[in-house]
Amino acid sequence: MCALDRRSFIKGVSSGILAGALAPGMNLMAATPPAERRKSVSFYPVLNFDVIVVGAGPGGIPAAIRAAQAGAKVALVEEDLAVGGAPVDMYVTTLFGQPSVGLSKALEQELLRDHGLYNYESGTKPKGWRFFLPSAYVRLLSRNIRKEKNITLLSGTPVIGTMVVDKGNRNRVTGVRIYRNGHIQELYAPVTIDATGTGVVAAMSGCVCMYGSEAMSDFGEPVGLEKASRAVQLCTQMFISERIRKDAIFPAGFKGSAAEDGYIGANRLTKEELERRATGIFFHWGQSVAVEDTTDPVQIAEAQRDCLEKYEERFDQLHEAGFAVHIAPKLGVRECRRVKGEYVLTANNVLEGSMPDDTVAHAHYYMDCWGMKLPKNMKTKMYGIPYRSLIPLNTEGLLTAGRVISGTRLAHSSYRVQRICSNIGEAAGTAAAMAALNKTGVRDIDVKALVADLDSKGLFDALKK
């Protein structure tokens, strides 16, 4: 677990010291003498919004849509050119976690209707697991963002800093700086949402961040480690294989999980069973690797190169066996920063099924903490995500969404999956719009009104069945 010195960090960000370390292509600018730098860097016009959402992924897109539908003028900022996040970048195209409600349910229904991978030859539809091609997410999510006239999408623009007013016991985030075409642009809004999946916006703003595994005694958890550790969950190189010959069969001894049309373990099907499968598209967990610091993109890139090198022989075997291989552009990262909030979710909440009074999203998934041995008989229950876990400590004007919300490593391993991240995103976007439009702080909104609004949109339908 690490805590950053807030005032020192804010001073560094505001003076531009960190710009070169935080943005691709900024190293040369950081090394340029100040006088020359002033000549070479210009600013795009300052833009003002009601809400800024950073990260157009599983948590950020629902946040932006709900804030826009509430009447807020929204900037959706994404460092990649294409929206989608993990399903597009990392090929995490299978939807895990429960419940499927609200926007998550609506988007999933669109995916199944328009982009489902069915066995058309036999006329059967998939059972169990469902996965989709990454391009399906790009098309679907882009279409849904375009529907919202209140959303301004700024793609290909990494955030390189935040504007922070450091006053009193609580600093206030007033906007972000993005890197655009070699220049800097400033975006201002009363509320910013960190839906990056890395918590980098919160870190830039001087928030307290949690990283690695806590000791069991830190939060009174019944399982975990005796001593705290900076180790995080393994990262995995995902890939998709596609049959390009009718007689294509996985090589003997092929290892690694695979799924096709909703069926797990396609690599263990017999030759006859494989031949009956019509689509012949398979989704794989490939090589997994430990990364010491998943907040560092250089380390992640190095780990990805190692993964590809170790799996090169397997890729060649697949090609010789009659399969084309599509490799995810980015290494699949399960765990990065968690932003410490007004409330820290723990393993106890997950196991006991706690439902705090300020619950704004429901979640149900087992504790899937790669690299940590947990009792196999542990059963989790539907539990509530409290609004307080979305509010960073000592910070105003900022909310978190998705997997970066406040929780221990064990709790995080349960709520980090896409359906749950989407539900949290809806709550964050709705709350942000309420605060911005009512000109109040994120702590001062009417939480009962927020819960009622979310309820009216079906976010709590799972407990009504």
Query: So what's the pLDDT on residue 94?
Result: 86
DSSP output for 350-367: HHHT---TTEEEEEB---
- Whether a cis peptide bond, with omega within 30° of 0, leads into 126 is no
Strand partners, 47: 187
Residues 131 and 122: their CA atoms lie apart, in Å, by 19
Domain that holds residue 262: 235-327
Q: What is the CATH number for 58?
A: 3.50.50.60
Domain count of the fold of the chain = 2
Among the candidates 302, 327, 352, a domain finishes at: 327
Among the candidates 264, 299, 327, a domain finishes at: 327
Global confidence as pTM: 0.89
Model confidence at 17: pLDDT above 50: no
Model confidence at 46: pLDDT above 60: yes
Strand partners, 386: 359
The least confident of 86-90, 286-290, 449-453 is 286-290
Model confidence at 256: pLDDT above 50: yes
CA 72, 400, 107: angle at the middle one, nearest 5? 65
Model confidence at 119: pLDDT above 80: no
Q: Nearest-CA neighbor of 407 among 344, 355, 365, 351? A: 344
Q: Do residues 422 and 366 share a domain?
A: yes
Is-contact 399 428, C-beta < 8 A?
A: yes
Among the candidates 268, 295, 327, a domain finishes at: 327
Q: Do residues 361 and 460 share a domain?
A: yes
Average model confidence (pLDDT) across the chain: 87
Phi/psi for 227 (5° steps) reads -120, 145
Interval 198-220: pLDDT, tens: 999 999 999 999 999 999 999 99
Is-contact 158 180, C-beta < 8 A?
A: no
Q: Nearest-CA neighbor of 191 among 28, 54, 5, 14? A: 54
Query: So what's the pLDDT on residue 464?
Result: 81
Query: So what's the pLDDT on residue 113?
Result: 86
Q: Do residues 168 and 80 share a domain?
A: yes
Alpha helices in 18-167 (DSSP H): 19-22, 27-31, 34-40, 60-69, 86-89, 102-115, 134-147
Model confidence at 154: pLDDT above 60: yes
Residues 294 and 303: their CA atoms lie apart, in Å, by 10
Is-contact 67 430, C-beta < 8 A?
A: yes
